């Protein structure tokens, strides 16, 4: 398939280009588009054939459900069978934005979207291009991250093109995503709200609105593939570069000692550390991913840094473990998976 790549101004997207992209969605085709979190691989959420194409283009397991994206709060009732008080409060506080809510689903959402679950994941993105596209398409857009399954999520047009050129009809290209990590996913189907995937809307922010929020064990621990998993996406190895990663947790000097003692081939083995720690690794191949206390910056840069390891021919990297407050919990969650839970404390 020939992929049409269209560059757009993030704040004033060309209406004609949005119209073309929306027409592709309406007739069941696929369009990759920017959101504030990561780029999405979009198709009509109410069209089974389009949804099938999404799974094929990504190489994704069909039991891992998709998020549907809407353009206005008033669209929610078309797709969700019930909207609890907690959902209304969260929407008022954080929509449009990087928050996905799991709610009971309506019939209009095919089983293929929800991996056979009786719930649906819904998000109202803040990105102008995303919202214009959804509005113009006149339907909810199902969109996983626009990467090949298992690869780090795409936060720039170059990432999307590397993974999906030839696999989608159109790519809307509009610079780097501002959050850089996939949306926060919260389930509102039980008695207590449950955080399934941390993201730009932090645990602390959710607690301020809801009072009580449980953190699913899968956020910080390996979930057994055979166990029933609250969010199926969490059981797959994810976000991983080709390089093998080890997360190293501890103080800066102790981590530097450990990492330097373990790097055997400095040509092919690298260090992913905080910006201010690069002097500790003089002579090594260093990939800084943000300031030590800059959780938002770490989130914004993480996936690009993971992809750059592969481009640099790094086969093994040691990664400084982030603090888990704020967006740090999301950075930690993604890094744990990228490292297949290989974490050492020094
Ligand atoms: O920021 C984002 O959320 C991006 C952009 C494109 O919006 N999308 C994204 O989609 O990250 P994806 O498919 O890569 O991740 C969807 C996550 C998976 O972990 C999946 O298991 C979970 O949401 N999910 C979807 N529907 C669910 C449901 N009904 N119940 C529980 N988890 C669900
Ligand atoms: Mg994904």
pLDDT at residue 63, rounded to an integer: 86
The per-residue pLDDT for range 83-111, each reduced to its tens digit, is: 999 999 999 999 999 999 999 999 999 99
- Rounded CA-CA distance 177/163 in Å is 17
- Give the pLDDT score at 227: 58
Q: Are 53 and 28 in contact (CB under 8 A)?
A: yes
Question: What value does the mean pLDDT take over residues 51-64?
Answer: 93
- Using alpha carbons, list the distances in angstroms from residue 123 to 120, 203, 297: 10, 17, 23
DSSP class per residue in 197-217: E--SS-HHHHHHHHS-EEEPG
- The number of the ligand nearest the C-alpha atom of 65 reads 1
Average pLDDT, stretch 242-271?
97
- To test the pocket of ligand 1, the residue of 144, 146, 172, 228 to mutate (highest count of ligand atoms within 8 Å of its CB) is 144
Over residues 242-256, mean pLDDT = 97
Taking residues 331-337, report their average pLDDT: 96
| Å from CA of 102 to ligand 1 middle | 9
Of residues 63 and 288, more confidence is placed in 288
**Cα of 50 to ligand 2 centre, how many Å?**
18
Model pLDDT, residue 226: 54
DSSP conformational letter for 279: G
The rounded distance, in Å, linking the Cα atoms of 281 and 318 is: 12
Rounded distance from Cα 60 to ligand 2 centre (Å): 9
Average pLDDT score over residue span 254-259: 98
The CA 67 to ligand 1 mean position distance, Å, reads 5
Q: Which two tokens stand for residue 86?
A: 């907690």
Using a 6 Å cutoff on CB, does residue 38 contact ligand 1? yes
Residue nearest to atom 33 of ligand 1 (CA): 231
Nearest to 316 by CA among 226, 248, 230: 248
How much is the pLDDT for 233? Answer: 60
Q: Tokens 């002579």 correspond to what residue?
A: 283
- What Rg value do the Cα atoms of the chain yield, rounded? 20
Question: How many Å apart are CA 59 and CA 148, to the nearest integer?
Answer: 6
- Residue 85, classed as helix, strand or coil, is helix
Q: Give which of 325, 172, 344, 328 is closest to 259, Cα–Cα.
A: 344
Q: Is the pLDDT of residue 239 over 80?
A: no
pLDDT tier at 235, thresholds 50, 70, 90? low
As a whole number, mean pLDDT of residues 12-37 equals 97
Contact 241, 162 (CB under 8 A): no
CA–CA separation, 314 and 284 (whole Å): 12
Q: Measure the N-to-C terminal CA separation of the chain; round to a whole number of Å.
A: 50
Q: 146 in helix, strand or coil?
A: coil
Which residues sit opposite 185 in a β-bridge?
A: 100, 197
CA–CA separation, 298 and 323 (whole Å) = 11
Is residue 85 within 8 Å of 102, Cβ to Cβ? no
Q: Check residue 214 and give its pLDDT.
A: 98
β-bridge pairing 40-44 and 141-142: antiparallel
Residue nearest to atom 15 of ligand 1 (CA): 144
Q: What is the largest CA-CA distance in the chain?
A: 59
Work out the mean pLDDT of the chain and round it to a whole number. Answer: 95
> By alpha-carbon position, which residue is closest to atom 17 of ligand 1?
233
Average pLDDT over residues 14-42: 98
Give the pLDDT score at 65: 96
**Strand 67-69 with 119-123, pairing:** parallel
Q: Which residues pair with 320 in a beta bridge?
A: 248
Neighbours of 334 (CB within 10 A): 27
pLDDT category of residue 127 using cuts at 50, 70 and 90? very high
Nearby residues of 16 by Cβ (< 8 Å), 6 or more positions away:
none
With cut-offs at 50, 70 and 90, classify the pLDDT of residue 223.
confident
pLDDT band at 234 (very low <50, low <70, confident <90, very high): low
Nearest-10 crossing angle of helices 295-311, 157-164: 40
State if residue 148 touches ligand 1 by the CB under 6 angstroms criterion. no
The closest-lying atom of ligand 1 relative to the alpha carbon of residue 143 is: 6
Residue 173 per-residue DSSP state: E
What digits encode the pLDDT tens for the residues 139-180? 999 999 999 998 999 999 999 999 999 999 999 999 999 999
């Amino acid at each position: 398939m020939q992929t049409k790549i269209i560059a757009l101004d993030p704040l004033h997207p060309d209406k004609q280009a949005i119209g073309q992209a929306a027409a592709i969605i309406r007739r069941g085709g696929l369009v990759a588009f920017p959101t504030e979190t990561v780029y999405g691989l979009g198709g009509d959420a109410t069209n089974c054939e389009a949804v099938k194409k999404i799974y094929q283009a990504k190489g994704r397991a069909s039991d891992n459900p998709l998020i549907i994206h809407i353009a206005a709060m008033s669209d929610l009732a078309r797709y969700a069978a019930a909207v609890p008080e907690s959902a209304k409060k969260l929407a008022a506080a954080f929509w449009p934005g990087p928050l996905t809510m799991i709610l009971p689903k309506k019939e209009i959402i095919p089983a293929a979207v929800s991996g056979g679950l009786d719930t649906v994941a819904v998000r109202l993105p803040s990105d102008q291009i995303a919202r214009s596209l959804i509005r113009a398409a006149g339907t909810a857009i199902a969109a996983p991250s626009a990467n090949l399954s298992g690869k780090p999520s795409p936060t720039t047009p170059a990432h999307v093109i590397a993974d999906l050129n030839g696999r989608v009809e159109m790519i809307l290209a509009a610079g780097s995503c501002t959050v850089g990590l996939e949306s926060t996913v919260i389930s509102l189907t039980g008695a207590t709200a449950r955080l399934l995937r941390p993201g730009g809307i932090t645990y602390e922010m959710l607690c301020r609105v809801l009072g009580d929020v449980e953190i699913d064990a899968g956020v910080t621990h390996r979930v057994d593939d055979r166990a029933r998993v609250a969010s199926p996406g969490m059981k797959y190895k994810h976000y991983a570069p080709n390089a093998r990663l080890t997360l190293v947790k501890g103080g800066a000097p102790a981590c530097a000692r450990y990492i330097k003692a373990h790097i055997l081939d400095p040509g092919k083995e690298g260090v992913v550390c905080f910006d201010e720690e690069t002097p500790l690794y003089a002579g090594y191949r260093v990939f800084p991913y943000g300031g030590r206390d800059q959780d938002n910056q770490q989130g914004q840069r993480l996936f690009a840094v993971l992809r750059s390891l592969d481009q640099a021919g790094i086969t093994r990297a040691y990664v400084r473990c982030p603090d888990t407050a704020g967006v740090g919990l999301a950075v930690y969650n993604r890094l744990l998976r990228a490292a297949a839970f290989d974490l050492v404390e020094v």
